[in-house]
Amino acid sequence: MKSESTYKAARIVAESVETIFSNHLERATLLGETNLASVPNASIIESFIDVGFWTSLRHEEGRSPRISLAYLTPEQAGTPIIFAQPIPFTPKTLTKLSPGYERAGIHLGVWHKDNALYVWGATLTIPNCCFVLDISEAGQVVIKHRRIDGFGKFSNIAVLAGDEIKIVDEQNSTNGSCPKIISSLLDFTSVASRHDTVNVMLQLAVSMRAHKRGGTLLVVPSQTKEWRDSISHPLHYAIKPAFSGLADLINKNEIDNSIPNWQAVLSKEVDIIGGLTAIDGATIINDEYKLLAFGEKIVQRVGQPIIDKVIETEPIKENKPTIVFPSKTGGTRHLSAAQFVQDQNNAIALVASQDGRFTVFAWSQKDQLVQAHRIDTLLL
Helix, strand and coil content of the chain, in percent to the nearest 5, comes to: 35, 30, 40
Q: Which amino acid is at 1?
A: M
CA-CA distance, 252 to 268, in Å (whole number)? 16
CATH 3.40.1700.10 domain locations along the chain: 197-379
| pLDDT mean over 198-212 | 85
- In the chain, the amino acid numbered 114 is D
Alpha carbon distance 347, 4 (integer Å): 50
181-198 tens-digit pLDDT: 676 666 544 444 334 444
Can you tell me the distance from the alpha carbon of 320 to that of 312, in angstroms, rounded to the nearest whole number?
Answer: 9
The end-to-end CA distance of the chain, in Å, is: 29
Q: Residue 135's closest CA among 71, 51, 202, 11?
A: 51
Q: How far is CA 345 from CA 18, 55, 231, in A?
A: 40, 46, 15
The pLDDT of residue 117: 95
- Is 2's pLDDT higher than 60? no
Q: Is the pLDDT of residue 48 over 70?
A: yes
CB 225, CB 344: distance < 8 Å: no
Helix, coil or strand: residue 20: helix
Position 377 scores a pLDDT of 85
Q: CA 361, 212, 244: angle at the middle one, nearest 5?
A: 65
Check pLDDT > 70 for residue 150: no
Single-letter residue type at 130: C
Of the pLDDT bands very low, low, confident and very high (cuts 50, 70, 90), residue 256 is: low
Q: For residue 239, report the phi and psi dihedrals to the nearest 5 degrees.
A: -110, 120
CATH for the stretch 197-379 = 3.40.1700.10
- Residue 61, class by beta-carbon neighbours within 10 Å (0-12 exposed, 13-18 middle, 19+ buried)? exposed
**Percent of the chain surpassing pLDDT 90:** 63
Could you tell me the pTM of the whole model?
0.83
Write out pLDDT tens, residues 162-179: 989 999 887 765 455 667
Residues 6+ apart with CB under 8 A from 96: 60
* Average pLDDT, integer, range 226-233: 96
Q: What is the dihedral of CA 165, 171, 173, 176, to 10 degrees?
A: -130
- Environment class of residue 185 by beta-carbon count within 10 Å: exposed (0-12), middle (13-18) or buried (19+)? buried
When mean pLDDT is compared across 90-94, 192-196, 349-353, the lowest value belongs to: 192-196
